[in-house]
Structure 1
Amino acid sequence: MSKKTEKKQAREKASTRQIIGAEAVTDYSLVTNGQGELVYFIIKPSNISVLSEASVGARIYALMTVLKGVAEIEMLCLNSRESFEDNKRFLRSRMDQEDNPVVRKLLEKDQMHLDRIQVQMATAREFLIIIRLKNEKESEVFPYLSRIEKSLKEQGFSVKRADREDIKRILAVYYEQNVTTEKFEDFDGERWIIPDD
């Protein structure tokens, strides 16, 4: 058996956690396989379209100040709402191909419906500051994270340290673009387990 086939079989047998390199989700972090422990800070975005040029410059300077103060910062930007762009692109291509005027009219109505939903949801981004903890003493972790959170707040950012449910939601959005589920399971199929059965 070739090495390529062995690797493929090993990957097929691997759990989702093994594939993404995650060991566990704690109350405040994502523990990874050999890449440290990831702590997420959720930054509420500002609507810069209504800010003056000077205000936007001040926001950029504030972020630069935070980045200079904490070298370990990584940043991530995710969709926090569902995007229908692929669906709308598909509907447009179907309308171009469709000869039947009744079906074409239905496709147009579907596209208008998706447009309305997207406007109502006000598609937004979610900005994350990530701190990768490596070999920190347990007694030093929380004061260190509190200093980073305080620094972000002092620079005018609306910030929240992600908890267990936030981290599970972030992973769902990042890996499967799932932004509609309310409660995420700790284990696949957890919702189907009946206690004391």
Structure 2
Amino acid sequence: MEGVNMNRKKKQEAREKASTRQLMGIEGITSHSLATPHGELVFFMIKPTNISVLSDASIGARIYALMNVLKGISDIEMLCLNSRENFEDNKSYLKARMDAEQNPVIRKLLAQDQTALDRMQVQMATAREFLIIIRLKNEKESDVQPYLSRIEKSLKDQGFTVRKAGESDIKRLLGVYYEQNVTTEVYEDYDGERWVILNE
């Protein structure tokens, strides 16, 4: 029993010393991919289409085009991100404050704040990101770029507006995915990196 406790203690110590990347299961970020223990992930960013203004025939054609892409690529994963801020907690807080507030002037200000949040949320409602993910496993470096170019061409041939995600895109995707951070413009490799002044 003592051996089990020691093993558990060692695992706990290792977890506490692990870096953020290790905890997230990321080995590194390259100029075109996210390296993980389960393969290298390459992201293709697809510009969304507003289907609410399309006819049924046009929507059917878009579905058929996506089906053709999926048939042509064997190992494909898809991801949809809500790339917008979520104001629901703030709106719930404001509603609770309005219900509890006795002063009508304060209550009116709180209602104006809630209206402003509603407007912001409506403006950002279409901010979605759609991604096609290709997981590379033990491919030769010389085969990777032609393979990725073929996939990108296939997507474009089917009428999708697409581009391969770069390093800054991948950092932003991780920020949105893990903490819904859609406001940061530049993601640093290390905390406080922007404050380091070299050669002084």
**Same fold by TM-score greater than 0.5:** yes
CA distance in structure 2 between the aligned counterparts of 1:73 and 1:98, rounded to whole angstroms: 53
- Trace 1:41-190 onto structure 2 (pairs within 5 A): 41-190=44-193
Distance 1:104 1:6, change over 3 A: farther
Q: Where does structure 2 lack aligned partners over 5 or more consecutive residues?
A: none
* Equivalent residue for 1:30, pick from 11, 34, 49: 34
Q: Where does structure 1 lack aligned partners over 5 or more consecutive residues?
A: none
User: Which segments of structure 1 move beyond 6 Å, counting only runs of 4 or more?
Assistant: none
Measured on the aligned residues, the alpha-carbon RMSD in Å equals 1.7
| 1:142-174 C-alpha deviation (Å, 9 max, x unpaired) | 000001101111111100000111111111111
When Rg is computed on C-alpha atoms for both structures, the one with the higher figure is: 2
Normalising by structure 2, report the TM-score. Answer: 0.90
Q: Is the 8 A contact 2:83 2:180 kept in 1?
A: no
Deviation at 1:23, TM superposition (A): 1.2
Q: Percent identity?
A: 70
Partner of 2:25: 21
Normalising by structure 1, report the TM-score. Answer: 0.92
> What is the number of equivalent residue pairs in this alignment?
196
CA distance in structure 2 between the aligned counterparts of 1:159 and 1:131, rounded to whole angstroms: 14
Q: Secondary structure at the match of 2:132?
A: strand
